Amino acid sequence: MPHPDYPITPAVRFLRERGIDFKPHLYKYEEHGGTRVGARELGMPEHMLIKTLVMETDARAPLIVLMHGDHEVSTKKLARLLGVKSVLQADERSATRATGYLFGGTSPFGTRTRLPVYVEKSILDMPRILINGGKRGFLVEIESRALREILPVTEVEVAI
C-alpha cells in the first residue's frame, strides 16, 4: 500500500475507523499564526477553518469548543450555558495532557480522553469545513454534518 502524503495521526485513524471521507490539506505552520495563516496558505475563507479550543471550567474540567476561525468565544456566555462560574482557555500543558495533541495541532478527533465537545451552531450549517487533523500545519476537510455523526456534540451560540 503506498504511503499517503499526509501524516497518519490519531485523528486520521479516528476518521478512517468511522468511514468519514476527508480531504487532507497541508500548509506551512507559523507559531501563533492561527487560522489566519491556514486560510491564507490554502486560499480558503477563514470562516471555513474551524478552531479546536481546549478550555476549562472553574473546577478545571476540560472541554472542547469548535469555533469559526474568524470568531472568538464568549467565555461568559459559555459559562452561563454550562452553569459554571467561569470558563477559560486551558494552558498548553493541560490541553496537551487532556487531548494528547500539541498546542496548535489539536483535533477534536481521537483525543486521549473523551471530552465534551461544544460546537458553534452555525458551523453545522456550512456544507464543508476544515478542521485540525492532529498535527500543526495539517487540516482535514470534511462535511460539517459528520461532526454530529462521529462526536457527541452540543450546539451552542457563543461566538463573538
CB-based contacts of 32, cutoff 8 Å, min separation 6: none
Q: What is d(CA 158, CA 118) in angstroms, rounded to the nearest whole number?
A: 10
- Per-residue pLDDT of 102-133, as tens digits, reads 999 999 999 999 999 999 999 999 999 999 99
- E strand segments, the chain: 23-26, 49-57, 62-68, 87-89, 117-120, 128-135, 138-143, 153-156
Return the pLDDT at 5.
87
DSSP code of residue 137: T
- Per-residue pLDDT of 16-30, as tens digits, reads 999 999 999 999 999
Taking the complete model, does pTM exceed 0.85, yes or no?
Answer: yes
Return the pLDDT at 3.
53
Question: C-alpha cell of 147?
Answer: 461532526
Specify the fold of 13-156.
YbaK protein (3.90.960)
Return the pLDDT at 4.
67
Could you tell me the residue ranges of all domains in the chain?
A: 13-156
Q: What is d(CA 18, CA 126) in angstroms, rounded to the nearest whole number?
A: 21
Return the pLDDT at 1.
45
CB 40 within 8 A of CB 69: no
Return the pLDDT at 115.
96
Q: What is d(CA 96, CA 100) in angstroms, rounded to the nearest whole number?
A: 5
- Spans of the chain below 70 pLDDT: 1-4
Q: Is 55 exposed, middle or buried (0-12, 13-18, 19+ CB in 10 A)?
A: buried
Of 129, 101, 126, residue with least CA distance to 115: 101
